[in-house]
Amino acid sequence: MKKPLIIANWKANPASSQDAILLAKRIESGISKLRNVKVVVAPPYLFLLPISRFLKILKLGAQNVFWEDIGPFTGEVSWRQLKTIGVGYVIVGHSERKIYLKETDEMIRKKVNALFEHGLVPVLCVGENKREGSDIPEIVGIQLKNALRGLKKKYIEHLVVAYEPLWAISTVPGAHPVKADDVFRAGLYIRRILTGLFGEDAASKVQIIYGGSVRKDNVGAFLNEGKMVGALVGGASLNPDEFVELVREVSRVRV
């Protein structure tokens, strides 16, 4: 049974290296006694190295990666470079990258593949931009199929899928979290697509987490009723008190 996974996605925050170190230290000391939750911090690239120097419990994550090794790729940071400083998890396919950087399904597929080939864990974000009606939109399945096309089955047990619809992200105007029972149905849908691709055994091992306006007072419902095995947390991960409380709440939930 995998431990619940909570990933702090700091996006382009905070403003300075000092602030990033302070934030990471406060989170690290707040969660130091909690053994039944895995917590990953994903700061901007710039802050990965200073933070990596003192982390003992928190795991290090990146918000992006380039799929090639080293070479003429201006502005990119490769999986190899991330590995040298101890990054173990990489968020891939976040909706903000698709919107602002025009990241395509093919780029996402290359990133997922490169991460698996080199022993890093992709946190693959999927989710619709808008929702009409209560069915999980087909685009979620299409995103999954495109991202995982041609992937070796042996890797699948390490995959993390984050169900994160754009309309649920706290900074989007009018945002609201997905209802726990809709999160539950999204989990079933994602598992069904994965089963079709890789078979029931491999699909059952994939860790499915939820992201979008997760807070300390709603995270319990996503795990309990939504049957998610973790959360991707943006805004609430920038407030160390709130984030530590959120992780404590998760540690109280039996998954």
Q: Is 122 in the site for ligand PGA (CB under 6 A)?
A: no
To the query of whether residue 94 is one of the catalytic residues in this protein, the response is: yes
When the beta carbons of 109 and 216 are compared against ligand PGA, the nearer one is 216
Among 160, 214, 246, 247, binds ligand PGA (CB under 6 A): 214
- Distance between CA atoms of residues 215 and 209, nearest Å: 14
Of the ranges 68-76, 143-151, 168-176, 222-230, which one interacts with ligand PGA (CB under 6 A)? 168-176
Q: Which of 28, 96, 128, 164 is catalytic?
A: 164
**Angstrom distances, CA of residue 40 to CA of 63, 69, 217:** 11, 24, 20
Question: Could you tell me where the DSSP H helices lie in 137-228?
Answer: 138-148, 180-198, 200-204, 219-224
To the query of whether residue 164 is one of the catalytic residues in this protein, the response is: yes
What is the longest distance spanned by two Cα atoms in the chain? 48
What are the structure tokens assigned to 161, written together? 């899928």
Query: With contact defined as beta carbons under 8 Å apart, do 254 and 8 qualify?
Result: no
Among 61, 165, 212, 230, binds ligand PGA (CB under 6 A): 212
**Angstrom distances, CA of residue 238 to CA of 15, 19, 165:** 11, 10, 20
Q: Is 232 in the site for ligand PGA (CB under 6 A)?
A: yes
Asked if omega into 14 is within 30° of 0 (cis), the reply is yes
Of the ranges 16-24, 55-63, 200-208, 211-219, which one interacts with ligand PGA (CB under 6 A)? 211-219
Q: Is 52 in the site for ligand PGA (CB under 6 A)?
A: no
Q: Which of 28, 94, 96, 103 is catalytic?
A: 94
When the beta carbons of 78 and 213 are compared against ligand PGA, the nearer one is 213
- Distance between CA atoms of residues 114 and 193, nearest Å: 22
Q: Is 165 in the site for ligand PGA (CB under 6 A)?
A: no
Residues binding ligand PGA: what is the number (CB under 6 A)? Answer: 14
Annotated active-site positions, please? 94, 164
Residues found near ligand PGA in the complex (CB under 6 A): 9, 164, 169-171, 211-214, 232-236
